[in-house]
Structure 1
Amino acid sequence: MGSAVLAACSSIDCPYNNTVYSQYVLMKGGGLKPDTLTDTLTILTTRRDGQDTIIYNKGVKTKSFSLPMSYTRDQDALFLQLKDTLGNVVHDTIKVNKTNTPHFESVDCPMSYFHTITAVSTSHHGIDSIILVNPNVTYDTSSPHFRIYFKSGH
C-alpha cells in the first residue's frame, strides 16, 4: 500500500532583518535640502538594563542616518555627541514618544514592531530644532521620519 506525503511551504518571504529603523536627515538653516554635518557624530541610548550603548559611532561628514527603535518602550532617548576638529564636544538629547504595534507577516516569520511617533523634543546645545516629517515607522525606509536642524558651526 502506498502512502502519500504532503509538503507545505509558505509563499511569504520573511524580512531578512525584521527590525524597523527611524530615518534622520541632517539640515542646516531653514532650507529643505540635506546638508553635511562637519562635526563627528556619536549617538548613544539606554538599554532596558539601564546601561548605555552606542548605536551610531563616530559618523563623519554625515548627511543622514538610520537608528533602530526600542520594541516596547513608549519613549526612546537618544544622546548625541558632536565633536568638532578642535576636540570641542557638545551634547544634545532627543526624546521620541511613540506607540508600538506588533506586526506579523505570517506564522513562519518572527514578530516585529511598527511604531507611530506621537511627539519629539530635543535639547538645544548643538541642535536648533527637530521636525517630525513622517510619524509611521515601518519597513519602508524611502522617506525620512525626522529632519534635524543644527546651529551654525556644526
Structure 2
Amino acid sequence: MSDFTHINKKGNPKMVNVSDKKITKRTAIAKATMFLGKEVISNFSNDELTTKKGPVFQTAIIAGIQGVKKTSELIPMCHPLLINGVDIDIKIIDSENIEVLCEVTIEGKTGVEMEALTGANISCLTIYDMCKSISQKMVIKEVLLVEKTGGKSDIKNG
C-alpha cells in the first residue's frame, strides 16, 4: 500500500499533503479525439457548427475551461488550485473526427494533469450534448496526457 500516495498507513483514503513542496510553474496538456461522423461534420462551416443550443466548439471551449476550474469538486483527492491559464483548441482532423487539446498552467505545489484531462473530457461531452440531435453515434475515442512539466518530473507522450 505504501506505493499509493492517496492511501494512509491504515489503508484509508487521504489527500496528499503538499505543504512541503516548492511552488513551481506547472503545465499539463491533454488530448481527446472524438468520432463525430460525416453526418455531424458535414454541418460545419468555417470550422464551427451552430445548433439551436449555440456555437458548438465555442461552447465546448467554455465548458472545458469550467471543467478545469471544477476538477477538485469532481475528483475527490484533487487539490483546489488557483489556475493561471487554460487554453483549449478544437479542430476537425478529417471527415469524421475532431481533436481537443487542453493546456493548463499554474504556479503551485501540485500538478494540473487531472485538470487538463477533465477539461478535454468536458469539452467532448459538451460537443456530444450539442450535436446529439444530429447523431447519437458519436464516440469519445481516446483521452490522454500528452505532456506535463514542472514538479518532480516532466512527461512527454508523443
Is the structural similarity TM-score above 0.5?
A: no
Higher helix share: 2
Higher strand share: 1
TM-score (norm 2): 0.30
- Rg larger for: 1
- Relative CO higher for 1 or 2, CA cutoff 8 Å, sep ≥ 6? 2
